[in-house]
């Protein structure tokens, strides 16, 4: 029996560079209030959101990804043709095939990099980061580009009082490469499919394909509504606050550190009340910088963690070499948490 030659990768992996892109249009709560019965004070108190970015016609999923990825590659100090794989997490690229990652890989100038999309909702960045770490250590790619990108404005029902104010658009990216010391900890991830109905698409695409529009939702003008994201807000809130704090603690334990060792906490930017509750449950010390990018960016699903990371580093609230706990959680219900060294 022939013996297969073992893979030769790096001892460890790390994030080498980060980049972000926010669409040029800034949308204040006042615009949202044109279609729902609410108030600016209610939106801020319930979510922490003051503004969000919505993409224009030219700011496609691919275009935003390329902008963010270009910054991440420049920040990493490597050339694009050394990227061996491109992983894109998104739920808002509406072409089933080919994967948008292939277009991005080509336009960035990679040398025929492996490229694929994943669908893991708001935990997508953590899933992509874990896959990238595995590729670098296993040796199938020396450098991996991980992108979280969403145009959730395309999947927002502006007449849904529970979700109309939540979502924003944008892209965040990181380059993962070799390291001589641990810089991406073990990932604690999983799913709870029995709760999948708490965050979902209102109408499956095949309802349009078969031509049966008799039960499709209508807007206030009687027009058929495009599929949108809906959620059971209270159920999601309770799950995120109580269960995800446990997952975050498990990630700290897996990395062999305590909350006292942390410099930065970067949770998925779902809701500022969820973030504040997790900080309290985890008993994070005062010195830990907490990302609250949601205030001006909204919930950008898979893009939220890298966008928040990029902003903290750009503003100086976090610095290179800091130890950060990152955790994403969302539709599925899925989750992923790990400890990283910031680039």
Stated as kind and residue range, the H or E segment containing 207 is helix 206-209
Rounded CA gap, 163 and 154, in Å?
A: 13
Is-catalytic flag, 122? yes
Stated as kind and residue range, the H or E segment containing 28 is strand 25-28
Catalytic-labelled residue, pool 29, 122, 223, 271: 122
Is-catalytic flag, 268? yes
CA distances from 107 to 65, 82, 117, 189 (A): 11, 14, 16, 32
Rounded CA gap, 54 and 77, in Å?
A: 30
SS3 category, 121: helix
Catalytic-labelled residue, pool 29, 53, 93, 299: 299
Which residue's entry shows tokens 């995120």?
240
Which of 18, 20, 17, 15 lies closest to 303, judged by CA? 20
DSSP 186: -
For 289-327, the DSSP string reads EE--THHHH-B-GGGHHHHHHHHHHHHTSS-TT-EEEEE
Name every residue whose Cβ is closer than 8 Å to that of residue 93 and which is 6 or more positions away in sequence: 61, 62, 100, 117, 149
Residues with a catalytic annotation lie at: 122, 268, 299
């Amino acid at each position: 029996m022939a013996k297969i030659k073992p893979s030769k990768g790096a001892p460890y992996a790390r994030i080498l560079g980060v980049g972000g892109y926010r669409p040029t249009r800034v949308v204040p709560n006042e615009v949202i209030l044109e279609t729902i019965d609410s108030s600016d004070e209610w939106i801020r108190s319930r979510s922490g959101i003051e503004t969000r970015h919505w993409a224009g016609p030219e700011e496609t999923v691919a275009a935003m990804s390329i902008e963010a990825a270009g910054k991440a590659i420049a920040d990493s100090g490597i050339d694009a043709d050394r990227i061996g794989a491109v992983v894109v997490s998104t739920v808002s690229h509406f072409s089933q095939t080919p994967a948008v990652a292939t277009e991005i890989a080509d336009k960035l100038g990679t040398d025929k990099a492996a490229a694929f999309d994943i669908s893991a909702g708001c935990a997508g960045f953590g899933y992509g980061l874990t896959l990238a770490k595995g590729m670098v250590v296993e040796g199938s790619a020396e450098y991996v580009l991980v992108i979280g990108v969403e145009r959730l404005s395309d999947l927002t029902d502006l007449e849904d009082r529970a979700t109309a104010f939540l979502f924003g658009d944008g892209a965040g990216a990181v380059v993962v490469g070799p390291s001589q010391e641990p810089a991406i900890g073990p990932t604690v991830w999983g799913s709870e499919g029995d709760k999948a109905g708490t965050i979902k698409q209102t109408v499956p695409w095949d309802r349009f394909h078969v031509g049966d529009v008799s039960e499709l939702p209508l807007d206030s003008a009687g027009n058929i509504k495009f599929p949108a994201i809906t959620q059971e807000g209270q159920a999601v809130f309770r799950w995120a606050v109580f269960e995800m704090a446990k997952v975050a603690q498990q990630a700290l334990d897996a990395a062999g550190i305590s909350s006292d060792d942390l410099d930065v906490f970067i949770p998925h930017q779902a809701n500022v009340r969820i973030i504040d509750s997790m900080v309290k449950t985890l008993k994070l010390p005062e010195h830990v910088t907490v990302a609250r990018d949601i205030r001006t960016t909204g919930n950008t699903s898979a893009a939220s963690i890298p966008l928040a990371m990029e902003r903290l580093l750009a503003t100086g609230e976090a610095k290179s070499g800091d130890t950060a706990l990152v955790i994403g959680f969302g539709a599925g219900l899925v989750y992923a948490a790990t400890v990283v060294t910031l680039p």
